[in-house]
Structure 1
Amino acid sequence: MTMLQQTSRTFYIPISRLTTKLKEAVTSAYLCMRAIDEIEDHEQLPDEQKVELLYGLHDAMLAPNMPEATKQLLEPYREVLPAVSMQLPEWALLCPKSIADTVYRYTAKMSKEMAEWVEAKWQIRTEDDLDRYTYSVAGMVGELLSELWLWYDGTKTDRAKAIAFGRGLQAVNILRNQKEDSERGVNFFPEGWGHKDMLRYTRRNLKVADEYIADLKEGPALSFCKIPLQLAHATTNLIAAGGNKLTRDAVLKIVNKIGG
């Protein structure tokens, strides 16, 4: 939970409120995927090494000796990668055994798709490209969460809406981080798109995410999803008004309004 708090202001609170079994599964999934994401985003690691490592992690996560294979693959990067990435085998082993293979499969899939995006130099020319990218890094997370809800208490969800939930949250990050991304030579806006176009894309996906939430019955899935979605809406409105990042007080106000 300490690592989770260090790596995600958005998800720490809703995850911390889950019951033990579900908390272990969601925490494991989040930290595994965050470990992969930190490799893709690493500013000092050459792209060739990123690609080799990410493809290697795809295979290692699916291997029968997953912990050992993953640890062996990461070891040469101990002085380069952040702790959340180096501890990937630990996050994987945290997951309850009955759902672990699902978490490993999605982590492997994300690692492979991120390797492909590094190879493609994150070139996003069309809205279809943007849809594929936001699926790879976040829509897939919404899809995995749907499997976790079903595993935990039989909650069935619309997968397309679950993907839009993740995609909408990622679109907010793209809007918020546009300046920083540009400074490192990356542009996630399709060709010809401006700020208003990305705002429309973000709001369109968040609207579908609202429908996803509306379909959920009372329970852990609904309680979990409400918080990041409302934070995403609030951040989008702030960005549209010329701001960028919610203050800690604003975040706490939203969280308290939703669930205390």
Structure 2
Amino acid sequence: MDLRRDALQILKDTSRTFYIPISGLPSGLQEAVASAYLCMRAIDEIEDHPELDRVTKTHLLQTISLTLQAGVDGFALDAFLMNFSGYENSLEEVSLRIRDWSILAPESIAPRIWDATAAMADRMAYWSERNWKIETESDLDRYTFGVAGAVGLLLSDLWAWYDGTQSNRTQAIGFGRGLQAVNILRNHAEDLNRGVDFYPDGWSKADLQKYARRNLALADAYTNSLPEGPALHFCQIPLTLAHGTLDALANGKEKLSRSDVFALLENLIGMKMKAS
């Protein structure tokens, strides 16, 4: 089995936003970032699963977290099998193969990814148990940190591990929060259909847009502070698409069209070429 090739294919199937920047990363860093993304996508698919009830989601997420916490120098072939017993036909492939993604990263950084994924799974279990009830802006901050801001911190650790790149960790949290806030706006109608509302009590779409723009300003500062190299190139693409999506939503569109995405990426590539 070519695990790296499998990972890139699953990545391509699950995220057009992150496939492009991850596939362009250098060897070593690519496996580390792909491992982190797919591990977190694995638990995210459980959190968002349309057919599983809250009790089941909470149980699955907690047991995955405990399994990850028990990792030493990898995981046995059957390490996660008991977690998924009875749900093999319900869960997505990306979730069922979390063991593969957990061992994809280089050994020297893999435990940091296990730790981050275990912590995120615990936080997702908490919100599942609570039925994702967001009452205040502080609740929203806690949720967006738990499922995305902490990812910004992990990315900062991956850049430092790979080539020593240092970054502002507060801004890194804003990077994750900003992307997640845009996702909340984009998926609001779909979330309401499954009985979940991530808007704090009394908040309108305009309030959530302000929240997103405030955090994307931190994301801009974070990205602009990165030196030329893999970290910068990785962050520019999802951030550009997040800004484009937010602008599209503000103008009444449901999401970016494929042609919109291509235009934004072509413009970004053109700007890079001029800068070089």
TM-score (norm 1): 0.97
Where in structure 2 are there 5+ consecutive unaligned residues? Answer: 1-7, 271-276
Structure 1 residue 224: Cα displacement: 0.4
Question: Given the alignment of the two structures, is residue 188 of structure 1 paired with residue 198 of structure 2, yes or no?
Answer: yes
With 68-77 and 4-13 compared, the bigger mean Cα shift is at 68-77
- Partner SS state of residue 69, structure 1: coil
The letter of the residue matching 1:189 is Y
The letter of the residue matching 2:17 is T
The letter of the residue matching 1:177 is N
CA distance in 1, matches of 2:20, 2:263: 13
Q: What residue is the counterpart of 1:66 in the other structure? A: 75
Q: What residue is the counterpart of 1:157 in the other structure? A: 167
Question: Given the alignment of the two structures, is residue 80 of structure 1 paired with residue 87 of structure 2, yes or no?
Answer: no
CA distance in 2, matches of 1:160, 1:71: 37
Structure 1 residue 244: Cα displacement: 1.8
Q: Is the 8 A contact 1:61 1:70 kept in 2?
A: no
Task: Report matched runs for 1:109-148 at 5 Å.
Answer: 109-148=119-158
The letter of the residue matching 1:41 is D
Q: What residue is the counterpart of 1:52 in the other structure? A: 59
Whichever structure has more helix as a proportion of its residues is 1
Q: What residue is the counterpart of 1:167 in the other structure? A: 177
CA distance in 1, matches of 2:85, 2:234: 34
- Partner SS state of residue 108, structure 2: helix
The letter of the residue matching 1:42 is H
Q: Is the 8 A contact 1:58 1:107 kept in 2?
A: yes
Structure 1 residue 72: Cα displacement: 3.1
CA distance in 1, matches of 2:85, 2:172: 35
Question: Given the alignment of the two structures, is residue 2 of structure 1 paired with residue 9 of structure 2, yes or no?
Answer: yes
Q: Is the 8 A contact 1:127 1:190 kept in 2?
A: yes
Q: What residue is the counterpart of 2:4 in the other structure? A: none
- The one of 264, 270, 275 equivalent to 1:254 is 264
- The one of 251, 262, 276 equivalent to 1:241 is 251
CA distance in 2, matches of 1:247, 1:20: 31
* Deviations 1:81-140, CA, capped at 9 Å, x for gaps: 011100100111111101000000000000000000001110100000001111111111
TM-score (norm 2): 0.92
- The one of 153, 177, 197 equivalent to 2:187 is 177
Structure 1 residue 20: Cα displacement: 1.4
- Partner SS state of residue 254, structure 2: coil
Q: What residue is the counterpart of 2:27 in the other structure? A: 20
Where in structure 1 are there 5+ consecutive unaligned residues? Answer: none
* Deviations 1:160-216, CA, capped at 9 Å, x for gaps: 111110110010011111111111111000001001100100000001111001111
Question: Given the alignment of the two structures, is residue 204 of structure 1 paired with residue 211 of structure 2, yes or no?
Answer: no
CA distance in 2, matches of 1:97, 1:74: 25
How many residue pairs get aligned? The number is: 260
Runs of 4+ in 1 over 3 A off after TM superposition: 64-68
Q: What residue is the counterpart of 1:219 in the other structure? A: 229
CA distance in 1, matches of 2:81, 2:104: 15
